[in-house]
Amino acid sequence: MTVITKTCRVSGKEFIVTDEDQQFYEKMGVPLPTLCPEERMRRRLAFRNERNLYHRKCDLSGKELISNFSPDKPNKVYDQKDWWSDKWDALSYGMDFDFTRPFFDQFEELLKKVPLPHVVGSIDIEESNCRYTNYAGDNKNCYLIFDSDFNEDCQYGEVIKHSKSCLDSSYLKSCELMYGCLDCHSCYNLKYSQDCTNSFDSFFLKNCISCKNCFGCVGLVQKEYYIFNKPFSREEYQNFLKKFVAGKRSAVLDMQKKFEEFSTCFPVKYFHGIQIENSDGDYLSNVKDVHNCFDVGNSRDLHYCDSLYTANDCMDVSSFGEKIELVYESGTVGINCTNIKFCHGIVNNCSDINYSMYCRSSQNLFGCVGIKRGNYTILNKKYTKEEYEFLLPRVIEHMKKTGELGEYFPMKLSPYCYNECMSQEYFPITKEETLKLGLKWFEPETQSHYQGQKIVTPENIIDVDESILKQILTCNNCTKNYKINKMELDFYKNMGIPVPQICSHCRYKVRMKQKNPRQLLERNCSNCSKDIQTTYSNERVEKVYCEECYLKHVY
């Protein structure tokens, strides 16, 4: 095989199909893609609304819900407990396959009929006090965390795993008492820090390993009592902390600005990751033969994947990825799943499933929605093994003729509006551009916003009392209203952190601006001029070093 160059039929951008890619497509029995990797990711993310939650009622019981489906959506939405129960049967919505119609039209009809779960996650979210979470499981006492699992007492975060008492942080693993942090692992009591490992009791760290009692430091390893990368005695360090009023908002903002300017003076490694063999991308750990992937760990033989853990031999997969193998062009697939193609929301011991959504513990499905413990089913209609094996090749041949085979679900089939889904996070477009593409745009209600006098929160956390819990605050950025809850206030008080003046969503956007885009670019090492692939563009102010040059600089 030789490398094939293709032109994306949507963006017009050229992309290559490597020998390894072609071998994978042949093994999976799918044609070569017609879309570039970015457009393929964009389609997958269009079916994932993580952060937008609404009040609505369960269409089965009438129960009040906090759901990622707004009440104006035409889909039936059931409380997650009812959805996973035996109170209804997805097979009752079965359809005969119509060979006079395109497959996607038939699937769209089915998707609008079959009830969908009100959020994605553990079914005990109310009992565990995690009602305001989504794509989150096995958590306790958590509020507004997303794509996060196995946490306790965490609030306002994304992609947090096995952590406790963390607030306003993203991409944490095995951390505790963290505030305003991003991409940290095995850390304790850090504030305003990024890309740190095994570090403790510190403020404003970046790219530090095994550091303790440090302030405003960049690229240090196994250091203690350092301030802006200079050593101090224990007494000098403690005197410095006494002068820095951590609970005063203006002091924090001034220090953030100073640290940002300071950190740009230091070179950065061209990628973030550890234990990497023959791999490229960003934020990788313990991977081998992983290419063009982002936020991936403990995985092998992946191409064009993001946010996966313990995945092997997959391509074009977004999110979840726990113990999966031979999965192609799918999103939110995980826990012992194999041979899954063009799917979304397929979980728990599934295999041999194509073009399906929200199915569990099933095998041999095609074009299904909401099937539990199913087998040999097409468009939610049950068949015998012989009938299924006779009909499926005819369906596949029909999709070849209509040009649908090998393509992920069109974005217009998504139950979410474009500005609600994760596609807008990574591929933002305007309302006008969205409507021109034939996609939906969500217009939030504004008439219910608080119209009273704007509350000015105290400058210093020591001046804040519990009366703030009854107040409606207004975001200084987007003007939306938000409130402070009791667990949150206790956290600010105990950690000595000023009450934020912007809402949690704007704080999230500030954090994510610090994270590099999921796009590999060509540039040269700023030290030795070696060719490198990196997520740092040439326009960035940082000096970007290859691994060899960076290690020489740090060690």
Calculate helix-pair angle for 103-113, 385-402, nearest 10 degrees: 120
Q: What is the DSSP string of 421-487?
A: STHHHHS---HHHHHHTT--------TTS--SPPP---SBGGG--GGGGG--EE-TTT--EE---HH
Kindly state the average pLDDT of the residues 435-457.
79
For residue 451, the model assigns a pLDDT of 59
Contact 136, 145 (CB under 8 A): yes
447 has a pLDDT exceeding 60:
no
Q: Which residues contact 451 (CB under 8 A, 6 or more apart)?
A: none
Res 448 pLDDT > 60: no
pLDDT per position as a tens digit, 84-134: 999 999 999 999 999 999 999 999 999 999 999 999 988 899 999 999 999
**Is 86 within 8 Å of 124 (Cβ atoms)?**
no
**Confidence at residue 154, expressed as pLDDT on a 0 to 100 scale:** 98
Q: Which of 388, 336, 338, 384 is nearest to 366 (CA)?
A: 388
List of E strands, 4-63? 4-7, 14-17, 54-57
Q: Are 87 and 73 in contact (CB under 8 A)?
A: no
Q: Is the pLDDT of residue 45 over 80?
A: yes
Element (H, E) at 510: helix 504-513
pLDDT attached to residue 5:
97
Average pLDDT over residues 458-474: 96
* The pLDDT of residue 453: 73
- Per-residue pLDDT, 446: 56
Tell me which of 190-204, 358-372, 439-453 is least confident. Answer: 439-453
Whether 454 has a pLDDT exceeding 90, the answer reads no
Q: For 510-550, write each residue's pLDDT tens digit.
A: 999 999 999 999 999 999 999 999 999 999 989 999 999 99
Confidence of residue 242 (pLDDT cuts 50, 70, 90): very high
Find where tokens 């009992």 sit: 127
CA geometry: angle 527, 206, 299, nearest 5 deg: 85
**Averaged pLDDT, 464-468:** 96
**Angle, CA of 416, 421 and 427, to the nearest 5°:** 130
Q: Which long-range contacts (CB under 8 A, 24 or more apart) does 319-322 make?
A: 319/48, 319/135, 319/147, 320/347, 321/296
- pLDDT given for residue 321 in this prediction: 87
Digit-coded pLDDT (tens) for 123-159: 899 999 999 999 999 999 999 999 999 999 999 999 9
Distances (CA, A) of 462 to 98, 252, 435, 492: 68, 15, 49, 10
Quote the pLDDT of residue 554: 83
Joined together, the tokens standing for residue 523 give 């540039």
Q: Are 379 and 90 in contact (CB under 8 A)?
A: no
pLDDT at 444: 80
pLDDT given for residue 122 in this prediction? 86
Question: Which residues sit opposite 309 in a β-bridge?
Answer: 297
How does residue 452 score in pLDDT terms, banded at 50, 70 and 90?
low
